[in-house]
Amino acid sequence: MELINKYFPKLSALQQKQLASLPELYREWNERINVISRKDMDNIVLHHILHSLSIAKFIRFRKGTNCLDLGTGGGLPGIPLAIMFPQTEFTLVDGTSKKIAVASSIIDAIGLQNCQAFPKRAEEMKARYDFVLARAVTRLDKLMTFVRPLISSEMKNAMPNGLITLKGGDLEEELKEVKGAKEQVAIYDYFQEEFYKNKYIVYVPMY
C-alpha cells in the first residue's frame, strides 16, 4: 500500500483494506486463469492498480454517477475505481466469461457494494452511462463506435459525459482518426514512476 498511499494519502480504513487485498486475490486467480501477464504479477500495484487509479486523479466522480468499464478483463480499472468512489455505480463488462468470473469473485471477496460484473459485449448493452471507461481495449476510432450509443445525455459531473480510456505509446495518428474534441493527459504528471512515461489518459467528451 505504500505506493498507493503516496498518491492517495486520505483513504478510509475500508478503502485501505480493500485495495491492500487486491494483489493477493489477483495472484491467486492468475494461477488458474491468466487475467494479468504473469511477468507483471510482481508489479501488479504499479502496472495495474495504480494505473487504474490514475483516472481518480483526472476526475472526481460525483455521487450518483454511473460508469461502464468496457472490456474490463479481470476488473481493471473498474474495481480499484469502485473502491475509490463508493458513491459511484460501476458496471463491468467483458466478452470473456471466465474473466468476468474473476472480477465477480474479487468484488464479492472485498465486499464492494457499488460494482457489478457481467459477461457481455458492448453491443449487447442497453443502459446509458455518464462515462465509459476502457483500458487498452482497442484503437480509439473503433472504441468510439461502441461507446457513442452508451453515453447518457443527462449531466451529473463538472466534466461532460464521455469516454475515458487508458492508453500508451505514440497516439498522434490514433487521435487524428477521431473527429471533435479530445484531451490527452500524461499520467506521468500524476505519478512520477518511470513506468508512467508514455502512458496517457484520453478523454473524449460526447456532449
Domain layout of the chain by residue ranges: 2-205
Indicate the pLDDT class of residue 42, thresholds 50, 70 and 90: confident
Whole-structure pTM value: 0.96
Tens digits of residue pLDDT in 111-167: 999 999 999 998 999 999 999 999 988 899 999 999 999 999 999 999 999 999 999
Give the residue among 84, 174, 72 at the shortest CA–CA distance from 118: 72
pLDDT at 70: 97
Tens digits of residue pLDDT in 62-117: 999 999 999 999 999 999 999 999 999 999 999 999 999 999 999 999 999 999 99
Pick 2-205's CATH classification: 3.40.50.300, 3.40.50.1100, 3.40.50.150, 3.20.20.140. 3.40.50.150
Model confidence at 2: pLDDT above 80? yes
Question: What's the CA gap between 160 and 206, in Å, rounded?
Answer: 7
